[in-house]
Structure 1
């Protein structure tokens, strides 16, 4: 069973993955959909190769402008020669089928998958990630496939997270086993929608997952102030104080290097910026999911 966390190649995504790839985790293979032509991406891929950590990189990204830049300042094509750097594609009707051999194929729409199946364009060597729909599972019977699902449900207003501070996040391993899947994927606590530029929020919210009885649950820590878009620093400390109180109650299995850094930020009364906070929540997520995979694999 493989976990495929799906990330975009934003600065904080790449920073989190740089930390994650310091040691190899065989049953976690992050997917990167590049969005910027930046030096951090080839550096990350080289680092992953050196440390033996597999990554999948989408070669036809569908968000932002990366795919439309003919000449890259920081090319990555040469890095696919390394076995740790795996090609991935988002399935589209015009995608050449010969590119899909031994690749990771991400299905977004049933109609696209049916087109490729009906015309025998989908090679058996491909690993497929698709929405968890019964009609899709029927099409993929006998193939190497898993499901991709967005577990991060966002209310209309971030302040509404304060009404439900703790909720179920996923039990993907059990779901995948039930349907004979070989892996699963999600968008972590970032969500599937992509925005080219960040936008201010009336609240500052931290989202941290944790293990509980073979499930992944999630806690939301919301700032008290939410009347306007001002005072982001003060709102951050309000949310962080709530997170720290909870982190101090956790058993060791749910404490991570990222939560230790959050405790240190609170002790130092330091606001590092929202990008660093997002990177820390991603690092925490990857560590907890690595432990989840290990626990379920040994069960």
Structure 2
């Protein structure tokens, strides 16, 4: 199972909705979504679309960032309402575990009579002092996914010997400035899809082509960069190519910078005969029409391509 980790931003949720037509395979993909806005309408729309093809959304109930931080009860109530009143039953309460407060939050959930028999997921970002007690709380529970950040994998996997665990990594080599990607034009991304089963994991996840670091907003860029993962057919590894604009001395003419980068992406796709994903088709359409879609759409397409690529290589 592949667990792509997305923040609940507009274009990330739109990416999930637009991939429903692929269709996403419920036996291969189950996205993790961290809600960051009080208005959950976009998550409802995405969850409803995913339900039509049987895909579960791992919805984080104790987000680290945004307007819903420390609003666990409100998110749990939202999940319960969607299930009982709206028939949207594919939202899985998912708890980030990285400190004592997270542990106490989860323990309260497990002791609640209204949720006692409900399925849930855990996402371990750090090992905590209460790990042994946490393990005991899983006994007899319906655990949908037990996902461990790769930085904590060796220690925590030993603790959860009786549980089927997935790994979460951040292979995206994020640079401080866009123009710094010039030094890392093409690099290794991941090969977890090839080895997770033989290494005893039930699944794997990543932060797609965005990276683990959370950034809200941003100004006009000096340089525009497009990120595209692809399969290295010789090694079987997933690599990533960064396509950088050329006129990067100031923040003027973002559309022009975008087309400088897009020209390189299209040439690479043709030269390497990259498979025609939904996102690649859209990039080609944009290139032919010479229409600038905005930076949000560009990030969305990059994520969509990566998600479709991973599902394809897993299948």
Q: Same fold (TM over 0.5)?
A: yes
The 3 A distance-change label for structure 1 pair 55 and 71 is closer
The 3 A distance-change label for structure 1 pair 76 and 43 is farther
- The aligned residue for residue 297 of structure 1 is none
Q: By how many angstroms is 1:39 displaced?
A: 2.2
Q: By how many angstroms is 1:75 displaced?
A: 4.8
The 3 A distance-change label for structure 1 pair 125 and 39 is closer
Query: What is the rounded CA distance, in whole Å, between the counterparts of 2:261 and 2:277 in structure 1?
Result: 18
Query: What is the rounded CA distance, in whole Å, between the counterparts of 1:116 and 1:107 in structure 2?
Result: 14
Query: What is the rounded CA distance, in whole Å, between the counterparts of 2:257 and 2:129 in structure 1?
Result: 44
Query: What is the rounded CA distance, in whole Å, between the counterparts of 1:115 and 1:230 in structure 2?
Result: 55
SS in 2 for 1:18: helix
Size of the aligned set, in residue pairs, is 290
- The aligned residue for residue 148 of structure 1 is 168
> TM-score normalised to the size of structure 2?
0.84
The 3 A distance-change label for structure 1 pair 44 and 112 is farther
**2:132·2:159 contact (CA, 8 Å) conserved in 1?**
no
The 3 A distance-change label for structure 1 pair 32 and 71 is closer
Query: What is the rounded CA distance, in whole Å, between the counterparts of 1:96 and 1:71 in structure 2?
Result: 14
Give ranges in structure 2 of 5+ residues lacking alignment.
none
SS in 1 for 2:205: strand
SS in 1 for 2:256: helix
Comparing 38-47 and 163-172, the one that deviates more: 38-47
Query: What is the rounded CA distance, in whole Å, between the counterparts of 1:250 and 1:83 in structure 2?
Result: 42
**1:117·1:139 contact (CA, 8 Å) conserved in 2?**
no
**1:46·1:79 contact (CA, 8 Å) conserved in 2?**
no
Q: By how many angstroms is 1:50 displaced?
A: 2.2
Query: What is the rounded CA distance, in whole Å, between the counterparts of 2:106 and 2:36 in structure 1?
Result: 22
- The aligned residue for residue 79 of structure 1 is 82
SS in 1 for 2:119: coil
**2:63·2:70 contact (CA, 8 Å) conserved in 1?**
no
Q: Please give the residue correspondences for 1:266-285 in structure 2 after superposition, counting only pairs within 5 Å.
A: 266-285=287-306
Q: Please give the residue correspondences for 1:77-156 in structure 2 after superposition, counting only pairs within 5 Å.
A: 77-80=80-83, 82-91=88-97, 92-97=102-107, 98=110, 102-111=119-128, 114=131, 116-117=133-134, 120-123=136-139, 125-126=142-143, 127-132=145-150, 133-156=153-176
Comparing 61-70 and 37-46, the one that deviates more: 61-70
RMSD: 2.3
User: Are 2:230 and 1:210 equivalent residues in the alignment?
Assistant: yes
Q: Deviations over 1:117-139 (max 9, x none)?
A: 46x23345322111223112211
User: Are 2:173 and 1:172 equivalent residues in the alignment?
Assistant: no
SS in 2 for 1:4: strand
> TM-score normalised to the size of structure 1?
0.89
**1:93·1:112 contact (CA, 8 Å) conserved in 2?**
no
SS in 2 for 1:66: coil
SS in 2 for 1:53: coil
- The aligned residue for residue 25 of structure 2 is 25
SS in 1 for 2:163: coil
Q: By how many angstroms is 1:147 displaced?
A: 0.8
**1:80·1:86 contact (CA, 8 Å) conserved in 2?**
no
SS in 2 for 1:207: strand
Query: What is the rounded CA distance, in whole Å, between the counterparts of 2:40 and 2:29 in structure 1?
Result: 24
User: Are 2:252 and 1:251 equivalent residues in the alignment?
Assistant: no
SS in 2 for 1:95: helix
**1:208·1:218 contact (CA, 8 Å) conserved in 2?**
yes
Q: By how many angstroms is 1:88 displaced?
A: 1.3
The 3 A distance-change label for structure 1 pair 167 and 49 is same
Give ranges in structure 1 of 5+ residues lacking alignment.
295-299
Comparing 9-18 and 86-95, the one that deviates more: 86-95
Query: What is the rounded CA distance, in whole Å, between the counterparts of 2:228 and 2:259 in structure 1?
Result: 16
